[in-house]
Structure 1
Amino acid sequence: MTEGLNIKSPWPSYQWPAGKQSATLLSVDVDAQVPFMWAHRDGLPDRLATLEIRNFGPRTGLYRLIDLFARYNVKASFYVPGLTAETNPEILPALVEAGHEVGLHGYFHEIVADASDAEFTGALEASIELFFKQTGKNPVGFRSPAWEITPHMLREIKRMGLAYDSSLSGFDHPYEIDGVTEIPVQWATDDAIFFKFEGGGRDKWPFQSGQAILQDWISEWRTLHRFGGLFTLTVHDWISGRAQRIALLEELLDNIAGQSDAWVATAKEIAAHHASSANAGRFAVGAKIPDAIGNRRFGQTHG
């Protein structure tokens, strides 16, 4: 059964470019070893295993992904921490030369809970400066490490003239939050929660079957296409650059490429469409943090 749901919605349907029913964003977080370095920012342990697992990304995995996208004639958005670009100065120029978008992803992959507002602002400024130095252009997009963001961060993204953020999940199509265009993400289509495995007893979940995840991703894409949404795939250089994951992505792209009314675009292109279309302002929300529940609880005795 494929009929639309017979419900009343307070939100109008999203309008994609003429002839397109849905959109697909292929995104890559080029984290390499930077998150490990942030986690041990006061002193790295004298161990190589995790560093080498992650170094596979800028050595091999990233270039397999670039080749994959070239074979399917699609462009992707690559989110690169400043330290990744600083220590691998060939990455940003190579991505730009291949026609892909490069976006900001923190400088040290700073986790929001561990960084002050001032640290975020400084990291954003330093990242923009580095990207301009290496590519000759200012980046237009930001993705927060671990997809957490604060109202202050949104204000700074807007103040610095960035076109969009891609860290939140309030809709399954583009929207605006506090005046910032949001290109939504989804945990179910992030490779890290299924395939991130570094060993040493630090992993929070077991390694997953590649074929099972592939079928889930194909189902996610098909249903989002049916409902006119945005399918955002997020992969990592050091995870999905591995050989078996490249083969899985080939099967996924075979499905997407066979659908003529599915628009495959970069986040920059999707954000530009949103801003210039009838969608602008129709899906605008605020970023207010609700008041704490405090004493408004049941069955409690307050003396």
Structure 2
Amino acid sequence: MEWPNGAGFAAAITFDMDADSLIHAADPAGWQRPYPISMGQYGPTVAIPRILETYRRLGLRQTFFIPGWCVKTYPRAVEEILEGGHEIGCHGWIHENPAARSLAEQGEDLDRAIEALAAFSGTRPRGYRAPVYQLTNDTPGLLADRGFAYDSSMMADDDPYALDLGGRSLIEIPPHWGIDDWPPFAHYAEIGYMMPVRGPTEGLAPFFEEFAAAKADAGLWHAVWHPFLTGRRARWQVVERWLETALTEGAWFATLGEIADHAETLRRAGRLRSIAFPTYAERQE
């Protein structure tokens, strides 16, 4: 894929700052569960300052996806992210599963989240990532109606592509589970994740292999990390050491908003892959 200023490939680290919204979304009685709540709270209160200090030292601006509820609950963490010049994207209201919500409820959740983000930052979010990647057939249209420029929930390519919505489009910046830190690090019985926790070096090695593959293919590498997982002390020390080398390898490190803008330029020039959405309009037998 083509990248700006002669860069050989592109890279982005995205953090989903879910905090303890996961517990409240998964269980109506979640507010009575102090242990998992405290695990989520580690993200905005301990990990975010640690991550932002690394970014400040290395001169990085990156993207954070944040549920609207977390903006209201952890305002200082969000202030620090904005003070660092980072992008904030929408990650639902309280990490609710869109696939379990009606069309009207999905719209209400989005509007509530957008309002919280815009009221805090002064700008509406341009990017969206569905909680647990659970888009519905309605979600892209809801996003387009609300002026979103890009989504980062679908997995139909390694590199950015256009979602053709029949006269409208969104840029898709695809994640996949191989660049998500839930499989190596999540151990969260309260929401049904009981992964075998890997050591920091072992757990992060696949991400660095994906980075090398993106470099070899002139493609995009982007991580989907969570502050309370990869932002833990020993794991983040491994990331810091790796970043100091990774930043010298010719990648364009950018926010997803910047990557989406570049992809949109390619789309308008007819040089970006386009995929119609939805893939299937009816149930397949």
Q: With structure 2 as the length reference, what TM-score do the two structures score?
A: 0.92
Of 126, 131, 146, the residue aligned with 2:117 is 131
Which aligned pairs between 1:93-242 and structure 2 lie closer than 5 A?
93-178=79-164, 179-198=169-188, 202-242=192-232
CA contact (8 A) 1:68 1:246 kept: no
1:28 is aligned to 2:18 = no
Instruction: Give, in whole Å, the separation in 1 of the partners of 2:265 and 2:234.
Output: 39
Aligned partner letter, 1:53: M
The share of aligned pairs that are identical, in percent, is 28
Counterparts of 1:58-77 in structure 2, within 5 Å, are 58-77=44-63
Q: Shift in Å at residue 214 of structure 1?
A: 2.5
Partner secondary structure for residue 138 of structure 2: helix
Three-state SS of the structure 2 residue aligned to 1:188 is helix
Q: 1:40 corresponds to which letter in structure 2? A: D
**What SS does the corresponding residue of 1:180 show, helix, strand or coil?**
strand
Please identify the structure whose Cα radius of gyration is greater. Answer: 1
Q: Structure 1 residue 277: deviation in Å?
A: 3.1
User: Could you tell me which amino acid in structure 2 is paired with residue 124 of structure 1?
Assistant: L
Q: Which runs of 5+ in 2 are unaligned?
A: none
Question: In the TM superposition, what is the alpha-carbon distance from 1:279 to its structure 2 partner?
Answer: 7.0
Describe the shift of the 1:180–1:104 C-alpha distance in structure 2 as closer, same or farther (beyond 3 A).
same
d(CA) in 2 for partners of 1:249, 1:94: 20
Q: TM-score, normalised by structure 1?
A: 0.87
- Check 1:278–1:48 CA distance in 2 against 1; reply closer, same or farther (3 A cut): closer
Unaligned residue ranges in structure 1 (runs of 5+): 1-13, 295-303
* Count of residues in correspondence between the two structures: 279
Aligned-residue offset at 1:71: 1.7
How far residue 37 of structure 1 moved from its aligned partner, in angstroms, is 0.5
Match of residue 24 from structure 2 = 37
Distance (whole Å) between structure 1 residues aligned to residue 214 and residue 262 of structure 2: 18
Note the C-alpha offset of 1:45: 6.1
1:249 aligns to what? 239
Q: CA, structure 1 residues 30+189, in 2 after alignment: closer, same or farther (shift >3 Å)?
A: same
Cα offsets for 1:85-108 (capped at 9, x unmatched): 111222333211111000100001
Letter of the structure 1 residue corresponding to residue 241 of structure 2: E
